[in-house]
Structure 1
Amino acid sequence: MRPRVRALLLALTTATASVTVAASPAAAAGATLTVNVAQPFRPVTHAASGGLYGLAENSRPADSTLLPIKPNSLTQPAPGVGQRPNGQPPGGDSLLVAPQATRVGAGQFIRMPDIYPDFPYRWVSWDDWLAKVDTMVRARLNATTVTNVIGWELWNEPDYTWNTAAAGNFNDGWVRTYRAVRALDPQTPIVGPSTAVYNRSWMQAFLIRARDTGTLPDIICWHELQNPARIAADLADYRNLEASLGISPRRISINEYAAPAEVDVPGRVASYVAKFERGGVESAHRAFWYEYGTMNGLVVNNNQPTGTWWLYKWYGDMAGNMVTTTPGAQTGLDGFASYDPTRRIVNVVFGDEAGTNTVNLTGLGALGSSVRVTLLSTPSSGRFTAVTAPTTVSTTTRTVSGGQLSVSVPNMSATSAYQLVVEPVSGVPAYQQRYEAENASVFRAQRLTASSASGGGYVGRIDNSGTPRTDSYVDFVVNVPAARAYTMTIGYANGTGATATQGLAYNGGAWGTVSYPPTAGWGQFGATVSTTVTLRAGYNVIRLAKGSPYFSGGTGYAELDYIQLT
């Protein structure tokens, strides 16, 4: 067992006696997953597609393996990283991998204690730690082209790694470190406490001290490294605790998830992702157990996909809104689903159960009375076996009755994941043309809702320019069939009463400007402007920005509904 595996499992088993390495569930005949396509609950953001130490220097893994899975965010080591995970040389320095993270549309948390070489971290002194904090923050401030840092993670697993005897009480140490970071950087969000497990009494003591000292984290974080069945209860308990203490709702990140026996098992990963989506977490990152440069086991042998990569590819293909999924009682079967109304595609990903099981779909009225149903599977190949493509289990034409359809899935393996795609038999567009702003990577802006917006959502408060810590922009990861010029139509609103402008760039190229004439008001959509973009075949990243490196900044304000490529 590798050193970090030993250390983390020790932390988990000492934190709570009930935590054990979760095995795949036994077969349970007749399990059911219900998908209500007519009940969206939030926009697709690929919240759980991130990774701890997901990137290594020299563009490892390759952009071509990352763009299809649309990593929402990453946790990367501090500038000047000293951490030697599992005996490897230090790697993954957040500032050195920032260009690649930017190319694939991912934000980064910077894990500050990774400046130390050992895990568990070896405390030296407060003078040593505060000097390191100063060095790390100044290095980030001097990186004037890096805009994708979305949080300072002040410590990692303090319920296991904090040396109370030498450093004093962690909650006092949090206050001291928070104030040291804020003295230099008053703008970048702060992330914590990043405990190894969720523990109510531990969290309560932390929150009270942080509340009373004005040092509450902007993003609350803990780890879910064992047994996805506890996730819903942990999230609900935290929200109740937060409210009981008079603390306004924090964004939640689970920036390490899945145990060593689970992280390469797509059936179990599907259960984790389903519960994170259902629970409303902003981001979740695959745990790091082994080696750099593979996005924690998603690729092998010169960037070839493993079985688990295909699950994240299916997740990356989702667009529109996440829709409600409900697992049956006393079953491992779980999954997550989306509906893209612009193409009328239902995309369901599920697993963690064996035998013959059923997916019941409701709310399918918009697809018509006849649909094409495609069922795919991807195996638990492990981290060292490439899987060149998922397996097509079946393709059938089915009749929808009363907006409902029941699909039997025979001979499931609990370790495999499955994708069910339902679309009209009349066909769907050959490629995705409309990209909702709320599905994109959003930096220093806000996802909002409006009845007049395409898909019901949009991005507003794209207000800031001037520094790499405050620049507001939206990155659209798009996939087109051919290298050529495309007409890009932008749905927008501009309630300023005057023309507003934003910068436009794609694939890191030269900046242009988009002008938005005034519209009827904020959050009132229907107006469009069009421009031309010349894209390469395959994946491209298109940025619309109020502020960004090498762009002097836009004028006025505009809200983004969608872009459409034709």
Structure 2
Amino acid sequence: MRHRRTTVALLAAAAVTSLLVPVGPATAAGNTLVVDVASPVRPVTHVGSGGLYALATTSTPDPALLKPLRLNQLTQPAPGVQQLGNGATVPTGDALVVAPSAIGAGAQTYVRMPDIYRDFPYRWVSWADWESKVRTMVNARVGAAQVTNINGWELWNEPDWTWSTGSAGSFTSGWARTFKLVRSLDAVTPIVGPSYSVYNHSWMLSFLTAAKASNTVPDVIVWHELDDFGWANIDEHVADYRAIEASLGISPRPISINEYGSPNQVDTPSVAAHYLAQFERTGIKDAERAYWYESGTIGGLFHNNRPTGSYWAYKWYGDMAGNIVRTTPSGDLDGVAAYDSSRKIVNVVLGGTYGTNSVQVRGLSGFGSSVRVTVSHTPASGRYANVTAPTQVSSSNYTVSNGAITVPIVDQDYLGAYQVLVTPASGPTSSWQKVYEAENATVVNANRFATGNASNGSYVGQIDGTGSSRADSFVDFIVQVPSTRAYTMSIRYANGTGATSTHGLAYNGGGWSTVSYPPTAGWAQFASTTVSVNLNAGYNVIRLAKGSPNFTGGVGYAELDSITLN
């Protein structure tokens, strides 16, 4: 959603200043956010890292600044986009045009089909016109053999107010008609929707009832969370949706919130902490920052292709590895946290209130009697102000008592966000990240599974697809290394075929080589094999593939647990 809020809700919100931010100075201080390192929630997948119209071109935003965000999911306009949103003078963000930048950043992309129209709200012409447009869009994607990151067709956007019932008939009938046309042209790519502007029980129930009857239930369920304080209701909305799904006998679908945050919130890092915490707790698949102003900024993370204050909150989130762990909010203080057991790093991103508050971190018994805690801050800089780096607030040792510490956040900025980083007193177990879990990486046409045999409790399996850019299965690891040199890469894998299997290996756009996986004791029974990779200082992308463009395909099958660089 873009223009509607500018004319309706934004005017109302402007009259009530306290609604523009997560909390106001009237809110009581003295809250404690509790982080339980011993209670993993799920693997880190950077659920909330993404945006609508996040990429304008292959150079906007700067690709070098995208990799640190570990982008998960984007929603970009359709091939041949004509949409002129938010004052743009030329269309931007065509999903196929920006695909190289998205792929390089590790992001998957939903294609928003109605943005083939120039105007928003959309101006319906006729069914013949729409179906011609659909054919053109889908055929363009099917013909783009090098594009591997399109993981969803979004058939319409906010039908609760942009669908022309008078001209096009009911939305549920139109959905079914469009669904079946797309499926006749592309039987592989998931279909996502209904993409309502808000979560509404009766709308969702009516839609799913009709979709089940027509055999057109979306592969991914989508709605938007765009109100001020919208994060507060996400858990209730997810629970209500799951109840509807169960009542209709529909198998559980992944959930996408592919627009989140009101126009007033794009410059409020503490709001990001609230949303990210809720997304991780509720188990949704992905969430994308809304597009209220300029395209190519990931909802205000960039100005003039450089970071704003909010960027750094997402950079901290992007640095998370291992498992998301349980956080318990207190009052308006909330946040998201992860534990990387390979380096013994607890990474907490929080915000939401003022005064003196605290973060209690539990489950630190394996860290020794003393830990090092570094607290950093990023401000609400304004959409048109750049912030070169976060500010370090403090760095000191804390004594661990009964496996816990309590870290005060003094004179908290209720608009900004904070990072609390906890390591053993001597520092992380390695000075740079060497172990990369497959389940934390970009997983394409494969699935994550849990097992106690895996190094972080999870692994990637069903890496089975090959033969086309819509079916190829691979895992992309974004790694950061300190210097340009040859690295030894140990791959932890399982191969239950009884014979040697292979994957293709490529990195940084280079040529393919073959990795061989001798048989292991069975599936999810892991062993290691070693190869050499020549990496550049900084960020690199390493792909292990069953199938991929310019690669003829691997032999047999293998599962991936992790890679380790030395």
Q: TM-score when scaled to structure 2?
A: 0.96
Choose the corresponding residue for 2:251, options 232, 248, 251.
248
Choose the corresponding residue for 1:291, options 287, 291, 294.
294
Give, in whole Å, the separation in 2 of the partners of 1:397 and 1:86: 48
Shift of 1:96: 0.4
Q: Relative to structure 1, is the Cα distance of residues 520 and 538 closer, same or farther in structure 2, using a 3 angstrom cutoff?
A: same
Shift of 1:6: 2.2
**After superposition, what is the alpha-carbon deviation per residue over 1:437-485, rounded to whole angstroms, capped at 9, x for unaligned?**
0000000000001111001010000000001111000000000000110
Choose the corresponding residue for 1:235, options 238, 244, 259.
238
Partner of 1:127: 128
> Which runs of structure 2 are paired with 1:159-558 in the superposition (5 Å)?
159-226=160-227, 227=229, 228-301=231-304, 303-328=305-330, 331-428=331-428, 429-525=430-526, 527-558=527-558
**After superposition, what is the alpha-carbon deviation per residue over 1:139-195, rounded to whole angstroms, capped at 9, x for unaligned?**
001111111100000000001111111111101110000000000101100000001
Shift of 1:271: 0.4
Q: Is the 8 A contact 2:51 2:290 kept in 1?
A: yes
Shift of 1:87: 2.7
Q: Is the 8 A contact 1:475 1:543 kept in 2?
A: yes
Gapped regions of structure 2 (runs ≥ 5) = none
Q: Is the 8 A contact 2:29 2:353 kept in 1?
A: no
**After superposition, what is the alpha-carbon deviation per residue over 1:476-511, rounded to whole angstroms, capped at 9, x for unaligned?**
000000011000000000000000000000011111
Give, in whole Å, the separation in 2 of the partners of 1:386 and 1:28: 31
Give, in whole Å, the separation in 2 of the partners of 1:3 and 1:327: 33
Gapped regions of structure 1 (runs ≥ 5) = 14-19
> Which runs of structure 2 are paired with 1:29-68 in the superposition (5 Å)?
29-68=29-68
Q: Is the 8 A contact 1:40 1:321 kept in 2?
A: yes
> Which runs of structure 2 are paired with 1:87-166 in the superposition (5 Å)?
87-88=87-88, 89-166=90-167
Give, in whole Å, the separation in 1 of the partners of 2:341 and 2:308: 30
**After superposition, what is the alpha-carbon deviation per residue over 1:405-443, rounded to whole angstroms, capped at 9, x for unaligned?**
111111001100000001001222110000000000000
Shift of 1:93: 0.3
Give, in whole Å, the separation in 2 of the partners of 1:4 and 1:384: 23
Give, in whole Å, the separation in 2 of the partners of 1:29 and 1:111: 42
| Residue identity opposite 1:257 in structure 2 | Y
Q: Is the 8 A contact 1:500 1:557 kept in 2?
A: yes
**After superposition, what is the alpha-carbon deviation per residue over 1:385-404, rounded to whole angstroms, capped at 9, x for unaligned?**
11111111111101111111
**After superposition, what is the alpha-carbon deviation per residue over 1:47-101, rounded to whole angstroms, capped at 9, x for unaligned?**
1001101111242111111000111010000000011101312110000001111
Q: Is the 8 A contact 1:11 1:196 kept in 2?
A: no
| Residue identity opposite 2:274 in structure 1 | S
**After superposition, what is the alpha-carbon deviation per residue over 1:264-320, rounded to whole angstroms, capped at 9, x for unaligned?**
20011110111011111111000011112222211223x321100000000010000
Shift of 1:9: 4.0
Q: Is the 8 A contact 2:21 2:268 kept in 1?
A: no
| Residue identity opposite 1:55 in structure 2 | L
Larger mean Cα displacement after TM superposition, 292-301 or 550-559:
292-301
**After superposition, what is the alpha-carbon deviation per residue over 1:97-148, rounded to whole angstroms, capped at 9, x for unaligned?**
0111111111000000000011110111111111100110000011111111
Q: Relative to structure 1, is the Cα distance of residues 12 and 560 closer, same or farther in structure 2, using a 3 angstrom cutoff?
A: farther
Give, in whole Å, the separation in 1 of the partners of 2:541 and 2:50: 18
| Residue identity opposite 1:313 in structure 2 | K
Query: What is the SS of the residue equivalent to 1:131?
Result: helix
Give, in whole Å, the separation in 2 of the partners of 1:318 and 1:134: 41
Larger mean Cα displacement after TM superposition, 216-225 or 4-13:
4-13
**After superposition, what is the alpha-carbon deviation per residue over 1:504-552, rounded to whole angstroms, capped at 9, x for unaligned?**
0001111111000000000112x10000000111000000000000000
Q: Is the 8 A contact 1:11 1:160 kept in 2?
A: no
Shift of 1:232: 1.1
Q: Is the 8 A contact 1:360 1:406 kept in 2?
A: yes
Partner of 1:23: 21
Give, in whole Å, the separation in 2 of the partners of 1:277 and 1:491: 27
| Residue identity opposite 2:448 in structure 1 | R
Give, in whole Å, the separation in 2 of the partners of 1:163 and 1:32: 49
**After superposition, what is the alpha-carbon deviation per residue over 1:370-397, rounded to whole angstroms, capped at 9, x for unaligned?**
1001100100001211111111111110
| Residue identity opposite 2:412 in structure 1 | M
Query: What is the SS of the residue equivalent to 1:192?
Result: strand
Q: Is the 8 A contact 1:3 1:87 kept in 2?
A: no
- Runs of 4+ in structure 1 deviating by more than 6 angstroms, as ranges, are 10-13
| Residue identity opposite 2:143 in structure 1 | N
Give, in whole Å, the separation in 2 of the partners of 1:76 and 1:406: 42
Give, in whole Å, the separation in 1 of the partners of 2:469 and 2:339: 35
Query: What is the SS of the residue equivalent to 2:240?
Result: helix
Q: Is the 8 A contact 1:12 1:196 kept in 2?
A: no
| Residue identity opposite 2:361 in structure 1 | L
Q: TM-score when scaled to structure 1?
A: 0.96
| Residue identity opposite 1:547 in structure 2 | G
Shift of 1:24: 2.7
**After superposition, what is the alpha-carbon deviation per residue over 1:229-255, rounded to whole angstroms, capped at 9, x for unaligned?**
111111111111111111111001000
**After superposition, what is the alpha-carbon deviation per residue over 1:317-369, rounded to whole angstroms, capped at 9, x for unaligned?**
000000000112xx211100000000000000000111111111111112111
Give, in whole Å, the separation in 2 of the partners of 1:538 and 1:295: 22
Tell me how many residue pairs correspond in the alignment.
Answer: 555
Give, in whole Å, the separation in 2 of the partners of 1:58 and 1:247: 39
Give, in whole Å, the separation in 2 of the partners of 1:107 and 1:261: 27
Q: Relative to structure 1, is the Cα distance of residues 236 and 8 closer, same or farther in structure 2, using a 3 angstrom cutoff?
A: farther
Shift of 1:21: 5.4
Q: Is the 8 A contact 1:21 1:259 kept in 2?
A: no
| Residue identity opposite 2:343 in structure 1 | R
Q: Is the 8 A contact 2:21 2:415 kept in 1?
A: no
Query: What is the SS of the residue equivalent to 2:265?
Result: coil
Give, in whole Å, the separation in 2 of the partners of 1:7 and 1:244: 37
| Residue identity opposite 1:430 in structure 2 | S
Q: Is the 8 A contact 1:339 1:346 kept in 2?
A: yes
Partner of 1:16: none
Query: What is the SS of the residue equivalent to 2:488?
Result: strand
Give, in whole Å, the separation in 2 of the partners of 1:273 and 1:54: 17
| Residue identity opposite 1:185 in structure 2 | D
Give, in whole Å, the separation in 2 of the partners of 1:235 and 1:372: 37
Give, in whole Å, the separation in 1 of the partners of 2:293 and 2:19: 17
Give, in whole Å, the separation in 2 of the partners of 1:390 and 1:86: 30
Give, in whole Å, the separation in 2 of the partners of 1:22 and 1:270: 16
| Residue identity opposite 1:326 in structure 2 | T
Percent identity, aligned pairs only, is 59
Query: What is the SS of the residue equivalent to 1:96?
Result: coil
